[in-house]
Amino acid sequence: MAMSQEQLTVERPTGLESWRDAPPVLFSAEEVSRRVRTLAREIAAARSDRPLTLAVVLRGAFVFAADLIRALIEIGVRDLTVEFLSVASYRGMASDRTRPDVHYVNGIFPGEGRDVLVVEDIIDRGHTLEAIERALSSHCERLRVCALLDRPHLREVPIGPHHVGFTLDTDDFVVGYGLDLDGRYRELPYLGRLPAPPRA
Ligand code: IMP
Ligand code: MG
């Protein structure tokens, strides 16, 4: 039986509204996918004999981490566990963007005797990564960092990732592939750029 026009009309989910004004492509889904698989090979080549824990920084790194984990498994990496942490720049009412707080989603971070690889979306001024390293370094054997994006020209502290997906030399605000602007654009399958940087 043929469907009427009314039955064929589907409500567009609100999360997809942003696709109508989708930001320009910085790196396509294919470019990101290729780069993530190369990163997995780099990480596998650099790992020690110890078991490895990925410390995924919520929320921006969640898509990247999911693809990276599958790429690592695909090339035979085993002895892998995954933990989650989040970083907040607020204490009570006061905002201190240079000393953010690190929260472990499980309450503790079980890294004793393991190598830990921090999986982060983007490193700008470096304060977020500095706080993570401060929090985790005494809870594991060896701490390394993998960032999907790195913007070294904005750095305020001398710190950097061991593995980098893409290095940026512009101030464009990056969204998509898990990265957001005020909760928007995380669902985009590619990395897009918003030309006006809305940073404070
Ligand atoms: P910083 O290195 O302490 O300046 O902060 C890095 C954090 O700021 C990242 O973990 C992101 O959450 C956020 N961030 C910085 N730049 C961008 C961007 O271009 N797009 C999305 N989030 C960003
Ligand atoms: Mg982040």
Cβ–ligand 1 contact at 127 (below 6 Å) = yes
Count CB-CB contacts under 10 A for residue 186.
18
The three-point CA angle 31-32-38 to 5° equals 95
In a domain, 3, yes or no: no
Tens-digit pLDDT profile for residues 36-95? 999 999 999 999 999 999 999 999 999 999 999 999 999 999 999 999 999 998 655 555
Residue 111, ligand 1, Cβ within 6 A = no
Full-model pTM: 0.88
**Domain containing 116 — which CATH number?**
3.40.50.2020
Total domains, the chain? 1
Q: Residues 145-178: pLDDT tens digits?
A: 999 999 999 999 999 999 999 999 999 999 999 9
What are the DSSP calls for 113-162, one per residue? TSEEEEEEEEESSSHHHHHHHHHHGGGSSEEEEEEEEE-GGG-SSS---S
Residue at 12 is within a domain: no
| Shortest-distance Cα residue to atom 11 of ligand 1 | 122
Domain membership of residue 59 (yes or no) is yes
Give the pair of three-digit tokens for residue 195.
Answer: 């030309």
Structure tokens at 106: 């499980």
